[in-house]
Amino acid sequence: MELLRTVAALRAYSDAARSEGRRVALVPTMGALHAGHLSLVAEARRRADRVVVSIFVNPTQFAPHEDLASYPRDLEGDLAQCRAAGVDAVFAPAPAELYPAGAQTWVEVPELALPLCGQSRPHFFRGVATVVTKLLVAARPHVAVFGEKDFQQLQVIRRLARDLLLDVEIVGVAIAREADGLARSSRNVYLDAPMRAEALALSRALDAAAAAVAGGERTGSAVLEAARKELRAAPHADVDYAELRDPETLAAIDRVAGPVLLALAVRFPAPRAASGVVRLIDNRVLRPTPSPEVSR
């Protein structure tokens, strides 16, 4: 496995693979790797001959009050996991490699970035869109793989790839979960035992909403109430949002007439985090079963 530190080295690696007729996959990460990231690596391996994982804690997607300084970092551990997973190369640059002195160019996808996480983190998607564009331009992969836990981010990236005519396939991979249903996240390490137990309210909320839809409920407010009831059962849960959205456009939905995204973001007290709070996100695309009349 090669460790690449510069954009020039990344480009040279990708160009060499392409010249040999190899298909290249990129898995962008911020490190602190866990089983969820490794599921992305596995999907990349299925789709390509060479798998590159980027490890870069992107400073431009953090606001001044957020956890950039304390975001979990373990490069040696990450490299060991990548090596064991059969990764071919890791790109782990210094910030100046991706943001050279005087950099002033940004990539924005304003409509898709506006709702959900964009409401409480208005800076976030500009930083994500910019760094992912830089990574795609530098690595020139045939395919780039992202997790569906960050569903809005995935849609932003799909849109920018289309709009900027980037010759890359954007692939989403289903959410990886712990055995008890908690979505895997690098920020889970901030949770102590009581708050981790409360955090299961997110997956229970998704289950409750899915059960309501499966039972024939189609009114958006009723589906949301089923989810919010589970979130209220967690005494320390501070709900940022619980919303129904169109899975592609992220437009608000008030009736479940087809596939609909239920997106959640909830904050919990977290003494291990520098801010004292951890914000977790989760989602599910709810798919109503057509009635027998419709099926006929």
Q: Give the neighbor-by-neighbor strand order of the sheet with 50-55.
A: 2-4, 89-91, 50-55, 24-29, 143-147, 169-173
Question: Hey, how many other C-beta atoms are within 10 angstroms of the C-beta on 201?
Answer: 27
Active-site entry in 34, 37, 65, 236: 37
User: How many Å apart are CA 130 and CA 111, to the nearest integer?
Assistant: 16
Asked whether 139 and 10 are in contact (CB, 8 A), the reply is yes
Active site residue 142: no
Residue 70's φ and ψ, nearest 5 degrees, are -100, 0
User: How many Å apart are CA 260 and CA 254, to the nearest integer?
Assistant: 10
Q: At CA 237, angle to CA 234 and CA 243, rounded to 5?
A: 105
Q: DSSP letter at 176? A: P
- CA quadruple 55, 61, 66, 68: dihedral sign: positive
- The residue among 102, 78, 72 whose CA lies nearest residue 90 is 78
Enzyme catalytic residues: 37
